[in-house]
Chain A
Amino acid sequence: MSRSQKVALFVLFLPALIITVVFYVIPAVLTAAMSFTDMDFRLRWNFVGFATFARMFEDFLLPRILQNTIVYTFLTLAFFNVGLAVLLALVTSYVPERVGRVFQALWLLPRFTPPIVYGIIWMWILDPTRAGLLNGLLALTGARPVNWMTDYPMATIVVTNGIIGASFGMVIFYSAIKSIPRDYQWAALADGATWPQQVRYITLPLIRWPLLFVTAYQTLSLLTSYEYILIITGGGPYFATTVWSLYAYNMAFGGYFANYEFGYGAALSIVLVILGTVASIVYWRVFRFREMMAEPKIEVM
């Protein structure tokens, strides 16, 4: 390598290297290390070996939490992050482009809204008194107000997270649909296909890779998401909506415990990473992602 190259490498690459190491690699290693200790907010620790992990088997909440996590991830993925996303991408590509873009902007809004504000909007919608939207409308029919968040907690977190999640898939699928060469659509038209037929026989098969990619990627995102759940239901009532990642957070920083049990929290996080890694490997194999990696898949227009 020439000298100018070495200099360039050094100057241009160093910032990223530093930041990555300080704020990513070191914390990752530390987390692994912490999980073997009983560290708390005083940041003093004792090495306790696998005791933190053993504790998990005795934690009576964990099975329920694991179930919550799986149910939540599956439902949100199927109905919103992939399901609704595909539908939205299809319909916004069917209508004239300007109309489509307006609706897409609307659906992207939740993603770019500060989480606390998004939370406020839902708190109002789901308010258990007449002041809330749903109960306010319900009052028109004379029915009694429903406490949505406590009566339907899982539905609440699935819907609220799903509406945000759908926009990711929508954008990706939309651009995949739009990049299907126009000739295929015209050929299908000339062959006599209606739009639903085009979707079934041509469009969907041709966006197979983005579909699989989004499924895998969003699974990981859902496994590790807890921000909105924290804001809207707090994990309640009584852990009904606590998922694994939220439990880890609460263990360390807040929620019902405010224990600052960093050691246990770290251990829980590590398990989450393992879960995520396993899921990735399974997806990689089942979806044969190696075939997809042959071409660069991030295109810029």
Chain B
Amino acid sequence: MARTVQAEPSRPQPAAGRYNAQAVRREERLVTAAVYTFLVLVSLPLAVGYGWLLLNSFSTELAHGVWPSGFTTRHWRFLFEPPSPYYPDLWRTTWNTLWLAVGMTITMVAVSTPTAYVLSRMKFRGRNAFLALTLVLHAFPGITLLIATYYVLRWLGLLNSIPGVFLVKAALMLPLGIWVMKGFYDGISWDVEMSALVDGASRIQTWYKVMLPQVLPGIASISIFSFIYGWSEYIYVITFIQDKNAWTLSSYINAIVGDFRFLDYGLLSATALFYIAPVLLFFIFTQKYLMRVTIGGTKGGS
């Protein structure tokens, strides 16, 4: 903002107040105030909700539901002893969760990346058909296929196993992964690829040595949300995994909710925080890579 002294405020002004700053500035300030008020009010519940996880897991009680009355770590004893004998070992469960997340990520990346290349850069009969198929398949939501998937997993012997879950989940997320990666491939100019082919590389070599390095951002994006979704998976885990040794933290907490829901909010919030903390941190640090994928379109008329 200019700090110089107002040069000629006392001179008679043509058509008094012709260039009127006041009214317009006031209007602008009003709008800004309204915007911020709205934003804060609407986001407050969210902030409070997540803050509670943190607060309550370390408090003896929350007065009026909000204010912590005392500090305690007793809610965290589940780290050392299970809440009841019928629970599996916490750390094994955590390991399973990690395995699920990683398995999901690897599958997604390993399958989407080459497939998207084929769909983006190669011409073959059935290309359009497959692209359309992926869109159509997306209309078949998980729920519809759940039952039949149970059947298939059982037939494959993959029920009650982590790989069973992450294969299914990855299959369902595949359309998204393929479209995202395809978007990245589409953005690379043809020249680079053509010169590789002219230099004598085979198609696979071209993909591996030339194209792949250029779509690393896409791979990063997919890896991030695959990992997060894998870590957070609920429905497939509780539906397909009954064996306690194969439980993930999702099932673990589900059981805690079932057993302790109205009894021990402290335990509930502590276990929830334990579950959510890794993925939360992961999300915060990788947020800008996630935002790289967008859907454009501003042409209203043309």
Binding partners A and B: yes
A residues engaging B (CB < 8 A)? Answer: 1-2, 4-5, 7-9, 11-13, 15-16, 19-20, 22-31, 34, 43, 84, 87-88, 91-92, 94-95, 101, 103, 105-110, 112-117, 119-125, 127, 129-137, 139-140, 163, 171-172, 175-176, 179-181, 194-196, 205-210, 213, 220, 223-224, 226-227, 230-231, 245, 248-249, 252-253, 262, 265-266, 269-270, 272-273, 276-277, 280, 292, 295-301
CB <8 Å contact, B257 and A119 = yes
Q: Which of B7-15, B49-57, B69-77, B81-89 contacts A (4 or more CB under 8 A)?
A: B49-57
Distance to closest chain B CB from A135 (angstroms) = 7
Q: Give the 6 A-B residue pairs with the shortest CB-CB distance, closest first.
A: A136-B65, A224-B141, A23-B171, A8-B203, A27-B148, A12-B114
Distance to closest chain A CB from B21 (angstroms) = 14
Identify which of B147, B167, B275 contacts A19 (C-beta below 8 A): B167
How many angstroms from the CA of A23 to the CA of B155 in the assembled complex? 12
Identify which of A2, A195, A231, A253 contacts B31 (C-beta below 8 A): A195
How many angstroms from the CA of A34 to the CA of B107 in the assembled complex? 29
* Given contacts A13-B115, A136-B66, A176-B298, A19 and B171 within 8 Å (CB-CB): yes
Distance to closest chain A CB from B290 (angstroms) = 8
CB <8 Å contact, B235 and A227 = yes
Identify which of A8, A84, A209 contacts B297 (C-beta below 8 A): A209
- B187 within 8 Å of A by Cβ? yes
Identify which of B143, B168, B207, B269 contacts A249 (C-beta below 8 A): B143
| In the complex, chain B residues whose CB is within 8 Å of the CB of A296 | 183, 186
| In the complex, chain B residues whose CB is within 8 Å of the CB of A28 | 137, 140, 144-145, 148
Where chain A touches its partner, the secondary structure class is: helix
How many angstroms from the CA of A101 to the CA of B47 in the assembled complex? 15
CB <8 Å contact, B115 and A24 = no
CB <8 Å contact, A91 and B143 = no
> How many interface residues does B have (CB within 8 Å)?
107
Show 17 residue pairs from A and B whose CB-CB distance is below 8 angstroms, ordered by the A residue: A9-B122, A12-B117, A22-B171, A29-B148, A87-B42, A91-B35, A95-B36, A110-B46, A124-B269, A130-B64, A136-B66, A224-B141, A249-B143, A269-B145, A272-B141, A273-B144, A298-B295
- B265 within 8 Å of A by Cβ? yes
Distance to closest chain A CB from B35 (angstroms) = 5
CB <8 Å contact, B141 and A245 = yes
How many angstroms from the CA of A207 to the CA of B300 in the assembled complex? 7
How many angstroms from the CA of A55 to the CA of B253 in the assembled complex? 37
CB <8 Å contact, B152 and A133 = no
Query: Which of chain A's residues has its CB closest to B201's CB?
Result: A4
CB <8 Å contact, B257 and A196 = no
Using a CB-CB cutoff of 8 Å, which residues 171-224 of chain B contact chain A?
A: 171-172, 174, 178-180, 182-184, 186-187, 202-204, 207, 218
How many angstroms from the CA of A103 to the CA of B36 in the assembled complex? 11
| In the complex, chain B residues whose CB is within 8 Å of the CB of A129 | 262
B residues engaging A (CB < 8 A)? Answer: 27-28, 31-32, 35-36, 38-39, 42-43, 45-50, 52-53, 56, 62-66, 107, 110-112, 114-115, 117-118, 122, 124, 133-134, 137, 139-152, 154, 156, 167-168, 170-172, 174, 178-180, 182-184, 186-187, 202-204, 207, 218, 228, 231-235, 239, 249-250, 253-254, 257, 261-262, 265, 268-269, 272, 275-276, 279-280, 283-284, 287, 291-300
How many angstroms from the CA of A253 to the CA of B241 in the assembled complex? 12
CB <8 Å contact, A109 and B46 = yes
Identify which of B66, B148, B207 contacts A30 (C-beta below 8 A): B148
Identify which of A105, A122, A299 contacts B296 (C-beta below 8 A): A299
CB <8 Å contact, A109 and B203 = no
CB <8 Å contact, B204 and A4 = yes
| In the complex, chain B residues whose CB is within 8 Å of the CB of A20 | 133-134, 137, 171, 174
How many angstroms from the CA of A176 to the CA of B45 in the assembled complex? 27
How many angstroms from the CA of A123 to the CA of B182 in the assembled complex? 40
CB <8 Å contact, B115 and A15 = yes
How many angstroms from the CA of A253 to the CA of B147 in the assembled complex? 8
CB <8 Å contact, B35 and A94 = yes
How many angstroms from the CA of A295 to the CA of B296 in the assembled complex? 10
| In the complex, chain B residues whose CB is within 8 Å of the CB of A122 | 49
A19-B167, A120-B53, A181-B298 given. 20 additional CB < 8 A pairs?
A7-B204, A8-B204, A8-B207, A23-B145, A84-B42, A112-B228, A117-B275, A131-B62, A175-B295, A176-B298, A179-B298, A207-B297, A227-B234, A253-B239, A269-B145, A272-B141, A297-B296, A298-B293, A299-B296, A301-B294
How many angstroms from the CA of A19 to the CA of B117 in the assembled complex? 17
CB <8 Å contact, A265 and B147 = yes
CB <8 Å contact, B140 and A24 = yes
How many angstroms from the CA of A138 to the CA of B138 in the assembled complex? 43
Most buried by B among A15, A87, A122: A15
CB <8 Å contact, B47 and A106 = yes
| In the complex, chain A residues whose CB is within 8 Å of the CB of B31 | 194-196
CB <8 Å contact, B283 and A171 = no
How many angstroms from the CA of A146 to the CA of B56 in the assembled complex? 22
CB <8 Å contact, A136 and B64 = yes
Query: Which of chain A's residues has its CB closest to B217's CB?
Result: A300
How many angstroms from the CA of A137 to the CA of B44 in the assembled complex? 14
CB <8 Å contact, B43 and A107 = yes
| In the complex, chain B residues whose CB is within 8 Å of the CB of A87 | 38, 42
Identify which of B146, B204, B265 contacts A131 (C-beta below 8 A): B265
Query: Which of chain A's residues has its CB closest to B268's CB?
Result: A120
